[in-house]
Chain A
Amino acid sequence: MNGLINRAIECFVRDSYGDALWQEVTEALGIDETAFEPLMPCDPEVTARLVAALSARFGREAADLLEDLGTYLVTQPRSEVIRRLLRFGGVDFAEFLESLEDIPDRARLAMSDFDLPAINLHMEGAGLYRVEIGRTARAGLWFGPVLLGVLRAMADDYGALVLLDYRGCDASREIIEVHLLDEAHASGRDFDLATAGTAR
């Protein structure tokens, strides 16, 4: 699974900061290009070093970078498929939130070695949700900030108005608070269940 994660980071950095900078960072780390082969296994330690190096190079917190990565994955036309697969989760943002718990299973259906941490959703009150993401060292990065970016972008996608707050983590989980203020704040983006690409 880390080949895919590394590849996602590569696309994000190349598109956001340019090829030259990407080369500079990876060459300094001496990372082999097979580490960015989406279907190939890769040591999570490589991902951890990569995130640390990028964080140092940009002078930004790793969590900030990872949140941008999450937003990037949903909003970039070239990773449109991720947005689409997430949109299968529900017809509106509330239903999408409820489908978050299925994401690890769905990811495994798509790629059997895709091993995302467990996600739990708790209703705290009207429109108030707490998303708990299991903490794992298996991936070489924390998924909480990435999911935060994904949620931000998906709320836009559904046209929902939300307040998102990364509440940090304890020993076993990361916590994101979601306040769904208005389900139909804006018109959102279209989603057709079938695309020209899948239906032949």
Chain B
Amino acid sequence: MSAHGGGQAGALAAMLDRFCPMHLVIGPTGKILHAGPTLARIIAPEAIMGARFLEVFEITRPRGVQDAGGLRALDGVRLRLRMRAHPRYALKGQLCAVPPDDSGAGPGPMVVNLAFGISLVDAVRDFGLTGADFAVTDLATEMLYLLEAKTVAMEESRRLNHRLEGARQAAQEQALTDTLTGLRNRRAFETVLARAVQGQTAFALLLLDLDFFKRVNDTHGHAAGDLVLGVAARRMLSAVRVQDIVARVGGDEFALLLPGMETATAVNTVARRLIAGLEEPISDGVRHYRISASIGATLSRDHPGAPPEAIMDAADRALYAAKAAGRGCHRLHRPEDDTPTAAGCPPQGGVCAQGAAMRSR
């Protein structure tokens, strides 16, 4: 690696090698005389011995160092450097100009001690450095340890967050979903309605009660009732658009929020389609069940500035009127007389003729 002198000078050089394994000794003319053992592992000594320091290293801070005189002037300054052959590793260092010896023969040598700063991890990996390549007092190993330990802890924390987020979403989904039908539940619907009332988009609110559901439930049992509810939910979903919200707000009571729907004609069309879909027989493979539905609807544009409860109330009154008109009817709440209009009861002979048993709401 170098030609250490004997005696005290040799001992000092060996000490430097031990304490500062990444140091360089530079001659008065700026040529490299010696490289510490770790540096010599990184840069082949034969390639740099005798080379000019500034040809092997680029000093990036301070700039503009051109020659040996400039180097000497850096005595004590905090340096940033790069190896020209490996520019990606940022080095930091400090230079110490050794005073000339007593013989008075011109300037003495210079010693530069180098260290990998934040590029330590890359350098250790790329140059295969080991604990023995660092001075005993160097914190490089501790830094690598800490980095690795923290990486593991962070990764574990990330995983935990991921799991918790999944659990949170599932819990929220569960809290807002009716488990039997997979539709939103009343709580979710209240949120949706409150948001829609706050928003700018007009919407239609429909309240739908299944007709004859109680009969199915009472006659054929809860399993049949559950089946009917599930099928009814799917049919309602397929009768509306993707952006429409369908919620089960009671045993056989449903609520629908249809954003952007603002004419009586459009609402009537949807209501007819819903009722027609629900009146299709439902089969469990053995029996056929027949139900129908009553719908009360209202348009948000008829309730400017009204709270969600008032809009619900209007739809509820319309539903009441629909039921009064017989099964399978729908009514739209009309604001001018606050009396529901006869919007579309099926012609006589249909389920309407069977009369309506009013249910108190």
Contacts and interface: CB of A to CB of B under 8 A. Distances in A.
Interface of A: 37-40, 81, 84-85, 88, 90-91, 106, 109-111, 191-199
Interface residues of B, number: 25
A154 to B, nearest CB: 15
Interface stretch (B36-44, B117-125, B276-284): B117-125
Q: Helix, strand, loop or mixed for chain B's interface?
A: helix
Contacts of B142: 88
B170 interface: no
A74 to B, nearest CB: 15
B156 A198 contact: no
Contact of A91 (B131, B147, B163): B131
Contact of A199 (B124, B150, B156): B124
Given A91-B130, A91-B131, A193 B141 contact: yes
B149 interface: yes
Nearest to A196: B125
Contacts of B146: 109-110
A39 B156 contact: yes
Interface in B95-153: 121-122, 124-125, 128-132, 141-142, 144-153
Contact of B149 (A40, A85, A192, A193): A85
Q: Helix, strand, loop or mixed for chain A's interface?
A: loop
Contacts of A81: 148, 152
A197 B144 CA distance: 12
A88 B151 contact: no
Given A88-B141, A88-B144, A109-B146, A199 B160 contact: no
B356 to A, nearest CB: 52
Given A88-B144, A192-B130, A196-B125, 14 more contacts: A38-B160, A85-B149, A88-B131, A88-B141, A88-B148, A106-B145, A191-B130, A192-B125, A193-B129, A197-B148, A197-B151, A198-B121, A198-B144, A199-B125
B157 interface: yes
A157 B152 CA distance: 21
A111 B160 CA distance: 15
A38 B163 CA distance: 12
Given A88-B141, A91-B130, A194-B144, A110 B153 contact: yes
Interface in B155-171: 156-157, 160, 163
Contact of B132 (A37, A40, A91, A109): A91
A171 B157 CA distance: 37
Contacts of B149: 85, 106, 109-111
Interface in B27-57: none
A40 B161 CA distance: 11
B151 A198 contact: yes
A195 B148 CA distance: 9
A138 to B, nearest CB: 20
B131 A85 contact: no
B148 A192 contact: no
Contacts of A195: 125, 148
Contacts of B131: 88, 90-91, 193
A81 B150 CA distance: 11
A40 B164 CA distance: 12
A183 to B, nearest CB: 15
Nearest to A3: B160
B157 A198 contact: no
Nearest 9 Cβ contacts at the A-B interface: A110-B149, A194-B125, A88-B145, A194-B124, A199-B125, A199-B121, A91-B131, A193-B124, A198-B148
Contacts of A37: 160, 163
Contact of B150 (A39, A84, A110, A191): A110
Contacts of A39: 153, 156-157, 160
